[in-house]
């Protein structure tokens, strides 16, 4: 696939989370490419893209204008036929994009953070289920962007805190952090103005007794808070740190992180004074819950996809392991995620022995060249027999010299069965189940090649014709004629070796190639067929229908230009046998 155009993507575009989401979306929807953009309303910059190569254009035009609102999920079945979209920047830059779907990424405040886009080079549609999944994936991307924005904001605040004590104090007052100073001996505790303001209290509305402070702690957290403080008082911990809920002036609860340390002790080691901080972490807890929900949704999505999503890592020393597998591993390999994650070698006993070397070699090539991994192979599962699997993955080199693959394995057993059935259909005569003429000629060409390669190898061709076959059809009908053909084919097959081949050449004519056999051996074979046919007449009701055959035999000659040359000689010998009275064997 040729690149649409080029774009220098910032280093953060390599963020594995966005790359993974793009790969998941592309795999789920089966589209040419998936990209995530970020930026303001009018211009969008590509954050990550899976399925295309980019190198130098800086932006993609506004995605909202073509359909009048960035809150609407846009699905353009064919961009070339959509008047609103025909002149859009993306279509102009990438003229072979036909299908486009875009979903806005909104932040918690409703602001546009970017877009999640699906691109394909063929027209298509999204059904209601696909649109729902598309919106869920867009929400995941929006959550990650919002979390990133929050993280950036907090990091900037932390940098400001380090500049000086004065600036740190100002920053603490404005960032939801308060200071407290506790006299352990007297039971007094004093709070900073910022501490009180954080909970909505005025300066005079908070007392200085420790007993009162405990009344503001959420009842479900109180024992945990007291036990943590006691552990530090008894010097079982170096510091006091606990996350808990605390009641605000309006009766609501905030999540806070309280940290402190005893700074004075008496001669017996009993605590005298303790200083600490309390920080409002409500937003962080909310974000953490959303991240957890996002992670659970990602897991649910990968687990619901038929097949197995995986992450496979190879260390520089050659050892490897599955760092992630979805729940589909149970259907694909009959293992639990824990079993496969614990040992990649567990697969060696499952993959068919004839395919295991190819399986191992394919990963070696992918790791060496960093080329996509693709393989069709068989597995053996207890109680299910031999099944087919198809694996696809993309490798990425790691800084330590290792390789990381993200990929997908699916069950292709049904497809392989259909392919096998089609192969049989294309090579087999429906009536007799012998090779059809075309397939038999391929087998004959292969035998001629063996004769030409080795002076010690010989082979013979026999042409058979059922005598008086027309009279059978005339007297008993074509259905009995078909029975006669099948009857002869069964007798013929019973005498063949694994190295021989037989085919129906048309009508009542059959051909056999005997590998590593001379004329005399071929004649003996033909006599055996005549004898078996005479001893086993066709039964039709109470009637016994005797069948006879004429046979022409020739040897395959290394000087034969084609297999047709040898077949023609056996056909001439057959003609001589029929002309000489039928039920005869003639050799060329």
DSSP readout, 243-266? Answer: EEEEE-TTS-EEEEEEEEEEEEE-
Output b/e per residue, 20-31; b: 16+ Cβ within 10 A: bbbbbbbbbbeb
pLDDT for 230-259, tens place per residue? 999 999 999 999 999 999 999 999 999 999
pLDDT, mean of residues 440-458:
92
Q: Given the structure tokens 């259907």, which residue do they identify? A: 331
φ, ψ (nearest 5 deg) of residue 548: -140, 160
Do the Cβ atoms of 396 and 292 come closer than 8 Å?
no
Q: Decide if pLDDT at 53 tops 80.
A: no
- What mean pLDDT is reported for the chain? 85
Beta strand 549-555 pairing with 585-587: parallel
Do the Cβ atoms of 582 and 467 come closer than 8 Å?
yes
pLDDT, mean of residues 355-383:
92
Do the Cβ atoms of 430 and 419 come closer than 8 Å?
no
Supply the pLDDT for residue 164: 55
pLDDT, mean of residues 20-39:
90
Supply the pLDDT for residue 7: 38
Taken in order 411, 416, 417, 419, is the CA torsion positive or negative? positive
Lowest mean pLDDT among 36-45, 123-132, 444-453, 530-539: 36-45
Higher pLDDT pick, 257 / 2: 257
What are the angstrom distances between the C-alpha of 16 and each of 7, 54, 88, 267, 382? 19, 18, 30, 55, 36
Supply the pLDDT for residue 166: 58
Q: Decide if pLDDT at 11 tops 50.
A: no
Q: Decide if pLDDT at 288 tops 90.
A: no
Q: Decide if pLDDT at 70 tops 60.
A: no
Q: Find, among 481, 306, 269, the residue nearest to 410 by Cα.
A: 306
**What is d(CA 295, CA 20) in angstroms, rounded to the nearest whole number?**
12
Supply the pLDDT for residue 60: 52
Supply the pLDDT for residue 304: 61
Do the Cβ atoms of 400 and 392 come closer than 8 Å?
no
Higher pLDDT pick, 58 / 265: 265
Per-residue pLDDT band at 12 (split at 50, 70, 90): very low
pLDDT for 318-366, tens place per residue? 888 888 888 888 888 988 888 887 777 788 889 999 999 999 999 999 9
- Which residues fall within 8 angstroms of residue 529, CB to CB, at 6 or more apart? 464, 491, 492, 495, 549, 551
Lowest mean pLDDT among 63-72, 313-322, 392-401, 560-569: 63-72
**What is d(CA 333, CA 329) in angstroms, rounded to the nearest whole number?**
6
Q: Given the structure tokens 């004590």, which residue do they identify? A: 165
Q: Find, among 289, 283, 281, 231, the residue nearest to 260 by Cα.
A: 231
- Degrees, nearest 5: CA angle 506-507-512: 50
Q: Find, among 161, 150, 109, the residue nearest to 283 by Cα.
A: 150
Task: Give this prediction's pTM.
Answer: 0.41
pLDDT for 543-582, tens place per residue? 888 899 999 999 999 998 998 999 999 999 999 999 988 8
**What is d(CA 112, CA 397) in angstroms, rounded to the nearest whole number?**
34
pLDDT, mean of residues 39-49:
75
Q: Decide if pLDDT at 55 tops 50.
A: no
Lowest mean pLDDT among 218-222, 540-544, 577-581: 540-544
Domains of the chain, start order:
11-157 (3.30.450.40), 166-285 (3.30.450.20), 305-417 (3.30.450.20), 428-587 (3.30.70.270)
The one-character DSSP state at 241 is E
Tell me the catalytic residues.
508
Supply the pLDDT for residue 291: 67
Per-residue pLDDT band at 585 (split at 50, 70, 90): very high
**What is d(CA 242, CA 244) in angstroms, rounded to the nearest whole number?**
6
Percent of the chain residues past pLDDT 70, beyond the cut: 87
| Cα 574 off chain centre by | 58
Percent of the chain residues past pLDDT 90, beyond the cut: 49
Half-sphere exposure of 156 (CA within 13 A, CB side): 5
Q: Find, among 549, 529, 530, 547, the residue nearest to 538 by Cα.
A: 547
Could you give the angle at which helices 16-29 and 128-161 cross, rounded to 10 degrees? 180
φ, ψ (nearest 5 deg) of residue 142: -65, -40
Lowest mean pLDDT among 128-142, 254-268, 423-437: 423-437
**What is d(CA 543, CA 203) in angstroms, rounded to the nearest whole number?**
117
pLDDT for 472-515, tens place per residue? 888 898 998 899 999 999 999 999 999 999 999 989 999 999 99
The one-character DSSP state at 184 is T
- Which residues fall within 8 angstroms of residue 518, CB to CB, at 6 or more apart? 458, 460, 555
Query: Could you count the other beta carbons within 10 Å of the beta carbon of residue 216?
Result: 16
């Amino acid at each position: 696939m040729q690149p649409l155009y080029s774009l220098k993507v910032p280093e953060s575009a390599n963020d594995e989370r966005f790359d993974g989401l793009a790969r998941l979306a592309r795999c789920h929807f089966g589209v040419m490419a998936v990209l995530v953009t970020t930026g303001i309303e009018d211009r969008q910059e590509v954050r990550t893209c899976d399925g295309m190569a980019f190198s130098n254009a800086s932006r993609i035009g506004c995605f909202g204008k073509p359909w009048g609102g960035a809150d609407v999920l846009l699905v353009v079945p064919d961009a070339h036929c959509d008047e609103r979209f025909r002149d859009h920047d993306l279509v102009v830059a990438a003229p072979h994009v036909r299908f486009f779907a875009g979903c806005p990424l909104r932040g918690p405040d409703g602001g546009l953070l970017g877009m999640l886009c699906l691109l394909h080079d063929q027209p298509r549609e999204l059904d209601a289920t696909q649109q729902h999944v598309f919106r869920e994936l867009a929400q995941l991307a929006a959550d990650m962007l919002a979390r990133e924005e929050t993280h950036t904001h907090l990091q900037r605040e932390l940098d400001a805190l380090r500049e000086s004590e004065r600036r740190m104090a100002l920053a603490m007052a404005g960032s939801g952090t308060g200071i407290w100073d506790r006299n352990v001996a007297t039971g007094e505790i004093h709070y900073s103005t910022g501490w009180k303001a954080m909970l909505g209290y005025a300066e005079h509305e908070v007392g200085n007794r420790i007993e009162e402070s405990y009344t503001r702690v959420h009842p479900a957290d109180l024992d945990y808070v007291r036990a943590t403080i006691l552990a530090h008082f008894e010097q079982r911990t170096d510091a006091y740190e606990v996350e808990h809920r605390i009641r605000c002036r309006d009766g609501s609860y905030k999540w806070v992180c309280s940290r402190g340390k005893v700074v004075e002790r008496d001669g017996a080691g009993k605590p005298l004074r303790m200083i600490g901080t309390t920080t409002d972490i409500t937003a962080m807890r909310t974000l953490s819950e959303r991240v957890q929900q996002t992670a659970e949704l990602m897991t649910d999505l990968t687990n619901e996809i038929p097949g197995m999503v995986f992450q496979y890592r190879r260390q520089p020393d050659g050892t490897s392991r599955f760092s992630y597998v979805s729940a589909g591993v149970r259907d694909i390999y009959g293992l639990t995620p824990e079993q496969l994650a614990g040992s990649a070698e567990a697969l060696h006993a499952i993959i068919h022995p004839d395919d295991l070397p190819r399986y191992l070699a394919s990963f070696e090539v992918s790791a060496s060249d960093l080329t996509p991994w693709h393989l069709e192979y068989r597995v053996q599962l207890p109680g299910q027999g031999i099944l087919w699997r198809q694996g696809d993955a993309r490798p990425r080199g790691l800084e330590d010299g290792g390789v990381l693959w993200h990929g997908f394995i699916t069950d292709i057993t049904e497809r392989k069965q259909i392919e096998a059935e089609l192969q049989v259909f294309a090579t087999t005569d429906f009536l007799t189940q012998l090779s059809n003429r075309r397939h038999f000629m391929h087998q004959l060409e292969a035998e001629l090649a063996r004769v030409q390669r080795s002076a010690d190898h010989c082979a013979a061709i026999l042409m058979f014709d059922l005598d008086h076959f027309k009279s059978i059809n005339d007297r008993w009908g074509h259905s009995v004629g078909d029975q006669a053909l099948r009857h002869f084919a069964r007798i013929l097959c019973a005498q063949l070796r694994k190295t021989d081949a037989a085919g129906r050449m048309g009508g009542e004519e059959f051909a056999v190639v005997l590998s590593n056999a001379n004329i005399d051996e071929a004649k003996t074979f033909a006599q055996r067929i005549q004898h078996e046919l005479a001893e086993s007449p066709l039964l039709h009701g109470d009637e016994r229908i005797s069948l006879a055959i004429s046979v022409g035999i020739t040897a395959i000659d290394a000087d034969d230009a084609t297999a047709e040359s040898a077949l023609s000689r056996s056909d001439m010998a057959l003609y001589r046998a029929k002309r000489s009275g039928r039920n005869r064997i003639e050799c060329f």
